[in-house]
Structure 1
Amino acid sequence: MTTSMEGRLALVTGASRGIGAVVARGLATRGATVLCLARDGEPLEAAVAGLVDDGLDAVALPCDLADDDALDALAGRVERVGEVDVLVHCAAVMSDKGAKTLRTTPQEWRRVMAVDLDAAFRLTTTVGPGMAARRRGRIVHYSACLGRMSGPGNAGGLAPYRIAKAGVNAMVRNLSHELGHGRRGVLVDAVCPGHCRTDMGGPEAPRSPEEGADTGLWLVERDALDPDGAPVVTGRLWEDRAVVPW
């Protein structure tokens, strides 16, 4: 069973390219009005223009997720459009390759944490209370296999990125507990998209952005209850529509 996106307002970060652009188009194609966020205004405007030219309902909201003042202002900008039913946070930055835990500068740590973890928290606390009050909403944060504490997450290196993504996984689990694991109508999940051909993943990556976006779109569309009336599984890290340990 799936939830209709008709009449829903969705907020998607990183929407100018890569997985975020695919998610934004996917939600708009399913009938949602999509608020598209990205840092650089010109590429974002071009991406949104492409959606609008195809008859889809999308709005460009340039925003630097590393800027606290911009995030403060974002809440008001979003409120003027409507009540957000769906948040998909795709934007992320990668650590410097040599950023091991004992070699990472405070500046590098803050640069990565600002977008990969702090912005995830700020976006969640901007739209989450309204979802909880209405007992309806979907929150999906794009994490990474590098943020797992089992499997590939144990390899070390890229410390700010790995730790930020592990923090995203923990935040998702914690918030899901607080919201009754879907029994109050709000599903909260994290996604490992795999190694995709994006600016971060590079042109030789084995997976397409469409493959990386698939699980996020599937999670957004799920009903809060399964056909038997039981709550669906939520508060987990997913990869290819299956729960993976982290």
Structure 2
Amino acid sequence: MNNSDLAEKVAVITGGSRGIGLAAAKALGAFGVTVVLVGRNPDNLNAAISALVDQGVDADSICVDVSDGAKVLEKVSQHSLASQADILINSAGVMSEKMAKTLRTTNDEWHRVMRINLDGTFNMISAIGPQMAQRKSGRIVNVSACLGRFTGPGLAGGLAPYRISKTAVNALTKNLAAELGNGTRGVLVDAMCPNHTRTDMGGPDAPRSPEEAADTIVWLATREHTSETQTGLLWEDRQIVPW
């Protein structure tokens, strides 16, 4: 997309009130994209919106828990911008407890992580994806994790609910992309690994800034769509990586 096209676009970003999601909102806003932040903490949302508006970004918010599918559908359908979004970035996520190995994970801990990381992603796609498919235009970017891969960092074990939730997000991405013709029907669907980032989840000593982590998200959300565009893939630093 060129800059004039972006000025007419709307991006919905979950987990957008802080961290990687907020960094993506700032970057997209700088291109002229209108951003709608989705989160469950009204104070965090209000602070993020104020910061974006101060930077000249056209921004709004939806306060909802993404794990509640019925509420997500209700809130999105009632929001004139979000219901017609051009870009969906699923950035909301939670980490497992440190000792959450498979045989030590409680039922409550398993479902706590899955409800946000996997169900939340599905709920947002279910609320926004159909109108993208109907219009034959859209970008869906799911924030995954290298720990969710079947290769490299994904082979170590531990943090079971988190790893497995991100593996499931990868599968959701691949499946949806295939159902939408792998880009031939106008909608690009991809997942990306932000790597260890200085956020509330990643901690202050992580090597990457939120802006560095958000770069691939913004690139995927705004790249040109041609017959040669690859989609339905897992990306890291604008490069395809194995699932």
Q: What TM-score bracket applies, with the shorter chain setting the length?
A: over 0.9
Query: Contact 2:11–2:82 at 8 Å: present in 1 too?
Result: no
Task: Provide the C-alpha distance between the structure 2 equivalents of 1:60 and 1:49, rounded to a whole number of angstroms.
Answer: 11
Is 2:217 the counterpart of 1:216? Answer: yes
Query: Contact 2:197–2:208 at 8 Å: present in 1 too?
Result: yes
Query: Contact 2:40–2:64 at 8 Å: present in 1 too?
Result: yes
Task: Provide the C-alpha distance between the structure 2 equivalents of 1:133 and 1:155, rounded to a whole number of angstroms.
Answer: 41
Distance 1:82 1:68, change over 3 A: closer
Q: After TM superposition, what 4+ stretches of structure 1 lie above 4 angstroms from structure 2?
A: 79-82
Query: Contact 2:19–2:200 at 8 Å: present in 1 too?
Result: yes
Distance 1:175 1:189, change over 3 A: same
User: Higher mean Cα deviation, 71-80 or 213-222?
Assistant: 71-80
Is 2:189 the counterpart of 1:192? Answer: no
Aligned-pair identity in percent equals 52
The C-alpha deviation readout for 1:154-189, integer Å capped at 9, x for no partner, is 111111100000001111111111111111110000
Distance 1:212 1:80, change over 3 A: closer
Query: Contact 2:77–2:83 at 8 Å: present in 1 too?
Result: no
* Unmatched tracts of structure 1, length 5 or more: none
Look up the SS of the partner of 1:194 in the other structure: coil
Task: Provide the C-alpha distance between the structure 1 equivalents of 2:128 and 2:238, rounded to a whole number of angstroms.
Answer: 25
Look up the SS of the partner of 2:104 in the other structure: coil
**Matching residue of 2:233:** 236
Query: Contact 2:76–2:83 at 8 Å: present in 1 too?
Result: no
Counterpart residue identity of residue 84, structure 1:
A
Query: Contact 1:66–1:111 at 8 Å: present in 2 too?
Result: no
Deviation, 1:55, is: 2.0
Task: Provide the C-alpha distance between the structure 1 equivalents of 2:48 and 2:80, rounded to a whole number of angstroms.
Answer: 22
Is 2:34 the counterpart of 1:33? Answer: yes
Task: Provide the C-alpha distance between the structure 1 equivalents of 2:214 and 2:130, rounded to a whole number of angstroms.
Answer: 25
Task: Provide the C-alpha distance between the structure 1 equivalents of 2:224 and 2:134, rounded to a whole number of angstroms.
Answer: 18
User: Higher mean Cα deviation, 50-59 or 139-148?
Assistant: 50-59
Look up the SS of the partner of 1:102 in the other structure: helix
**Matching residue of 1:135:** 136
Task: Provide the C-alpha distance between the structure 2 equivalents of 1:74 and 1:161, rounded to a whole number of angstroms.
Answer: 27
Distance 1:29 1:80, change over 3 A: closer
What is the TM-score with the length of structure 2 in the denominator? Answer: 0.95
What is the TM-score with the length of structure 1 in the denominator? Answer: 0.94
Deviation, 1:81, is: 5.5
Aligned length: 242
Query: Contact 1:9–1:82 at 8 Å: present in 2 too?
Result: no
Deviation, 1:244, is: 0.4
**Matching residue of 1:168:** 169
Query: Contact 2:82–2:128 at 8 Å: present in 1 too?
Result: no
| 1:22-61 to 2 correspondences below 5 Å | 22-61=23-62
**Matching residue of 1:117:** 118
